[in-house]
Amino acid sequence: MKQKTVNYKLVLFGLLLFIGILFFVNLEGQRLMTNTLAVTVLIAFLWCTEALPIGLTSMLPLVLFPTFGILDGKLVSEAYINHVIFLFIAGFIIALTIEKWNLHQRIALKILSYTGTSFFRIMLGFMLCSSLLSMWISNTAAAMMMIPIGLSVVTVLNKKGEESKMRKFNTHLFLSIAYACSIGGVGTLIGTPPNLSYARISEVLFPKIPEISFAQWMIMALPIVVVMFMIVLFLLYFTSVPKGKSKLKLEGSYFKKEYNLLGHTTTEQKRVFYVFLLLIFLWLFRRELVLGDFYLPGWSQLFPFPHFVNDGTVAVFVVLLLFLIPSSDKQKPLVTWEITRKIPWDVVFLLGGGFAIAKAFVVSGLSVYLGEQLMFFFTSRSDVGILGMLVGFIVFLTEITSNTATTEIMLPVISGVAKTLRCHPIILMLSVTLASSMAFMFPVATAPNALVFGTGKIKMLEMIKIGFLLNLLAVMVIVLVVYFWIPYVFQIDFHTFPDWAQ
């Protein structure tokens, strides 16, 4: 991968912002708060502009927080090593193992062979594969795997009909891949980095906050995934199907033939698949499931200290299995240590940097201060109005900034808003987290958007027009889910400020 260079002009501008806040801003006479704001603005600016490599910027808290008396160096370092970081690393090793043995392509072609070959079924199949894969492997990897299959399908369709009349369907097919990857990532705790950011930052901000288990997250996010999936599918299909070409479709056995070209399922693919199913089972049923009157005990209760076991524990256990289970070559396991070189360490440091910033916001009191300043925008508004403003702001903000960086900067601020409004922090913080994955307008908004734009099949204006409408619909869906579904799932109330948040 090409190493990004340093943009010295932007770095200099960021330093000037930093120095300007240090010397010309005084937040209520609190030097600690001012220093925290200065460092956070510098890091946020460098993250957004990528003037420095993201991983390098993410290490700045290790130097600046101790230097300016914000956090002890030991506390800052601990932010970079915790169970959420290990959950991310282990999850990525599992995803890389799936890719190594080409299991993801086999699963995708198998699904496509069942969905069919009409225009509607093709788009349904691609979206289904993209969303399901992105729940378990990175959105970027899912998009990269689906795009070559999409290009081969588009080539065949263009040969069967006039390419000029097929152009819009081709465009929308690739958009469906990108959007489905973003939507699917919302569905699981490991689906996208902002979800993991919530898991850890909420603990930093509120040490006694109830944990959201893997299964609880899926139950909570499922309505968003299903509703947005259907909205994108029908919107893209009905605005793209070629007129007078309803009989034009791929051969019924096209995807089956492509699947057969992969050959027989290998021993490694079978073993990785079984381990993957074990992982899903252990994640889903680790903790007890409670939904209304329904109760299902979790397997962790078989141990003397069930609360000691978390999702990171499960992920690392499964990774150990992958390192121990042999491949068909008895001398080698399913995965070797060399695979760790492919882990996106810049994202690991990005998560750690965000956790350190969250800790600094709590210690300095900056989260509460900023929350009080934002009260102007939320005063005298209805609950739905508050959620609508918050979700809308995050959705459109992430069109031009990293969704992970946005989440990590905004969660501490929104926790302060919750304290000031005396409303439930989980509801507001989940609003930010879920909204950060709903960016559909620009190629720079998400990696899947950029990848499909790079195929040359999509014009910028087309993505902006469809993406803007989807952004608005996403705001509506998230607000409804957050307002009605999340309080039911977690048995909480919007206007209740819990004891653990005091």
The proportion of the chain whose per-residue pLDDT surpasses 90, expressed as a percent, equals 18
pLDDT band at 292, cuts 50/70/90?
low
pLDDT band at 143, cuts 50/70/90?
confident
Residues 300-304 have a mean pLDDT of: 85
- 290 sits in which H/E element: strand 289-291
Q: What is the pLDDT of residues 211-269, one digit of tens each?
A: 888 888 999 999 999 999 999 999 988 887 766 554 556 666 777 887 888 888 899 99
Cβ–Cβ contacts within 10 Å for residue 409, how many?
24
Q: What is the pLDDT of residues 371-421, one digit of tens each?
A: 777 766 666 678 888 888 889 988 888 876 677 777 888 888 888 888 888
Rg of the Cα trace of the chain? 23
Which class for 423: exposed (0-12), middle (13-18), buried (19 or more C-beta within 10 A)? Answer: buried
Let me know: does 182 contact 446? Beta carbons within 8 Å. Answer: yes
**C-alpha 179: how far from chain center:** 12
What average pLDDT is seen over the chain? 83
Sign of the C-alpha dihedral computed for residues 465, 468, 469 and 470 taken in this order: positive
DSSP symbols for 347-401: HHHHHHHHHHHHHHHHHHTHHHHHHHHTHHHHTT--HHHHHHHHHHHHHHHTTTS
57 vs 150, higher pLDDT = 57
* CB proximity list for 163: less than 8 A, separation 6 or greater: none
Give the span between the Cα atoms of 174 and 451, in whole angstroms. Answer: 9
Check pLDDT > 50 for residue 2: no
